Structure formats: structure tokens, C-alpha cells
Amino acid sequence: MSFTDREWWTLVHGMVLGAFFLLAFAGGLAELYSLKPALLTRVGVQSRMRRVKVGVVAMAVAAWLTVITGTWIVYPWYREDVASSPRSTLLADPSTAEWHEFGMEWKEHIAWISPILATAVAFIVVYYGTNLIRHDRVRRTAIGLFVLAFVIAGIAGAFGAFITKVAPVI
């Protein structure tokens, strides 16, 4: 019972960083949502702000690490010009070719939008700090971009999971 180096990296890219990303998103979203004057006090706001900052920065870091490991470590193995590579395997069979031609082609590109959006949100939260509590418009904008970053990562992650199921990197 063991994993190859390639399988380990696929696990790190998809599961370890994916779980970290999900956790950071859930925490960051909950804290961002609750940054309302009616739910905060002078004492509580300090620890609440700290948690928001940790959540959004952690999600941005997780998103960057995911796309960097995916593009620069796992993807070269996926697209190797040999008959046994996942890309070759998928394209060899007309019934699975669409997993590459649509799924992988979309995933490998769209994934990079997520860390860009997540970084913008992290900047907003770190720069604006406690001002977010009273400036509802900015807070809602940050939440909107945060959710968009998550949805885009979700599309890429879902296709990654499906493609790995059909043609894993071994």
C-alpha cells in the first residue's frame, strides 16, 4: 500500500490544498458575513478582524499553491507525449476525449482566475480593516468576489476530480 511520487503530488494538489482552501473559504466567508455593527463589540472586533484576515489570506495562499503545483508539477505529467499519459489515454478513446478537449482545457485556464480574485479580497480586508464593519458596500463587494473565487476554483476542482477518476496521473 503505497503512492508513487506523482500520486503524492496529485494528492497534495487536489486534496491537501483543496481541503485547506475549502476550510479557509468557509471560515473567511462566515467571518466576513458577520462583520456587522449589530454583531460586534469593541472587544470582540479585534479577534474577529484577526480571524477574517487569517481566513482570506489563507484562502489566497491556498489558491496560489494549488494553481502553481497543478500547472508546474502535475500538469507536465498529465500532458507527457507518451501513450500512457492521461492526456494520451483520454484522447485515444472518442468516448473520453471530451474530458481533455473540454474538461482539462477549461480547468487548466480558468483555475488561474481564482487566486487573482482571492488576492484582491485579501488586500481589501487587510487594507480596509475595521472600516469594513461600517462600510457595508465594500464588505458586500468583498464577499461577492470571495464567493466568485470559490466558484471558479470549484469548477476547476470538480473537473480535476472527474479527470483523475477517468485517467489518473500515475
Report d(CA 131, CA 134) in Å as an integer. Answer: 6
Tell whether residue 76 is a contact of another protein (CB under 8 A).
yes
Does position 65 bind another protein by CB under 8 A?
Answer: no
* Residue 41 interacting with another protein (CB under 8 A): yes
User: Min. distance of Cβ 11 from another protein in angstroms?
Assistant: 20
Neighbours of 19 (CB within 10 A): 11
Nearer to another protein, 132 or 167 (CB): 132
Point out which span in 22-30, 88-96, 135-143, 160-168 binds another protein (CB under 8 A).
135-143
Cβ–Cβ contacts within 10 Å for residue 125, how many? 26
- Pseudo-torsion of CA 49, 118, 14, 86, nearest 10°? 180
**CB nearer to another protein: pick between 23 and 68:** 68
Q: Which of 71, 88, 89, 96 binds another protein (CB under 8 A)?
A: 71
- Our CB check for another protein shows the closer of 134 and 170 to be 134
Contact residue for another protein among 97, 134, 158, 161 (CB under 8 A)? 134
Residue 102 is given by DSSP the state: I
Cα separations (Å) of 9 from 14, 144, 158, 167, 170? Answer: 8, 31, 17, 15, 10
